[in-house]
Structure formats: structure tokens, C-alpha cells
Amino acid sequence: MIKENAGKYLYAAMAVGEAILEYGGEVSRVEDSVSRICKAYGFERVDVFCITSSMITTAHFNRIETCTQTCRITHIENDFERLGQVNNLSRSICSTLMDPDEVLSELKRIRGMERRSLSSNLLIYSLVPASFTVFFGGNALDMVISGLIGAVLFCLAGRIRKAKFNHLATALLCSLTGGLLAGVLALKTNAIHADLVRIGNVMVFIPGVKFTNSIRDLLTGETITGLISLAESLLLSVIVALGFAASSLMLM
């Protein structure tokens, strides 16, 4: 690595760290991966600070000259298939010293990997709330209705995200819609238990993974990240509860 290319190598390392965080990787893993990649490229010292929404890295390529870059992360999702691919890429960089352009090209390929089909997603988003409804004591009709509402909410959430609403607004609108659909269908027939159908669909929106990760971060010393994730998960849970509660009040 030469001085003129320091920014290029650091940018590639930051891009890998950004992808790890976007696909659900831990903050500690991001910091460790970026640090290892930079040192493999020849930086003498690397200082990485990362939280769930931002990453700052200062890399020293001699005692007095440094290169600093920052990255803003606006979207995080749990995609373990892509996360595994990015982790493999970071290991390859450290072992083979891939060219930065090659690294960016591989990241572009990973981001462009084919996602699950619409039919698969609809099936998943139907089975999950239906299963929870049965678990909490619902009958066969409750299960079917819960599954259908889950599929509707999946389509609605997709349309809301395309309209650039944030995740809190998406959760509020979906929970309100799901509660109204369950309540209206229950009014049409006495065979449906609206509360059990609502509970099944509530479970889809509860941020259990984020809450668990926040506790893990707190226990491993990532205090700032843990507190931010904990606050986000609690706020999202409150928003979901408010949406379903409002739907019940509207139908009284």
C-alpha cells in the first residue's frame, strides 16, 4: 500500500464493515473486521468506532500521517445468508489481499443476490402469525384468518417502505390495519376470536432479535450500542401495542 492509495484501501474496508452491520452483524464484529482488513493492507494502527447508525475509522500508515473516513448506516436488516457471504469476503481479503476494486465488485454481487420469491415470503408471513394464534389457543378458523391478515400486512409493509416511511410509521400503520381487519371480521361472525388473531399478528412485529442483541451488547461492554438498540426495540414495541390498542378502541 502506498500513501496515495490509503483512502482507497480504507474505503474498501469500511464498505465491508458497513455491509456486515447492514445485514445484522454485531458492532464488535464490524470493528474487528475493519481493523483486521486495514492491518492486512499495511496500516500500522487502526481505530474503529461503530454504533448501529454510524462508523468512524482512523487508520495510521506511519507515525504522523493518518486517513479518516466516516460512514452513515440508515438501514439494518437480518439477512444471514448475505452476512455469511460478507464474512467470507473479509477473511479472503485478509488472506489474499484482494484489490479494493475487486472487493467493491464482490460486495456489489452480494447485494445483488436473488432474494426469496414473493410466494415464499407470503407463505412465511402467513405461517408465522397463524402458528402463534394456534399456540395461544385459537381454533382452525382463527388460524386461517390470522394467516391471511399476515399476508395482507406483508404486502402493506412493502408498499409503505417504498413510500419512504420509517420503520416506526410502518409498524404503526401495519398494527393498526391488522387490528382493524381482525376486529371487523370478528364482528361479521361469532366464530372468530379477534384477540387471538391480533396476538398472532402482534408477534410478527415484536423486535425480539433486536432486544436480545441489545442485552448481549450491554453484557459485552458495548454500552452505547446496547442502549440505542434497547431504546429502539422498546419504542417499536410500544408503537405496535398502540396500533393494536387503537384498532380496538375504534371498533368499540
Kindly report, residue by residue over 154-183, the tens digit of the pLDDT. Answer: 888 888 878 777 888 888 898 999 989 888
Domain stops at, among 77, 111, 145: 111
Distance CA 59, CA 43 (A): 6
Distance CA 20, CA 58 (A): 19
Amino acid at 217: D
Output 64 or 227, whichever has higher pLDDT: 227
Q: State yes or no: pLDDT of 100 exceeds 80.
A: yes
- DSSP letter, residue 137: T
Same domain, 149 and 105: no
Number of domains in the chain: 2
Average of per-residue pLDDT values in the chain: 87
Same domain, 123 and 164: yes
Same domain, 33 and 91: yes
* R_g of the chain computed on alpha carbons: 22
Helix (H, G, I), strand (E, B) or coil at 180: helix
Same domain, 204 and 122: yes
Per residue in 110-131, pLDDT (tens digit) is 988 877 777 888 888 899 999 9
Q: Which domain holds residue 201?
A: 118-250
- Mean pLDDT throughout 94-103? 92
The pTM of the full predicted model, rounded to 2 decimals, is: 0.79
Same domain, 82 and 13: yes
Distance CA 65, CA 5 (A): 13
Same domain, 146 and 211: yes
Helix (H) or strand (E) run with residue 140 in it: helix 140-162
Same domain, 98 and 131: no
- Cβ atoms of 174 and 236 closer than 8 Å: no
Same domain, 106 and 168: no
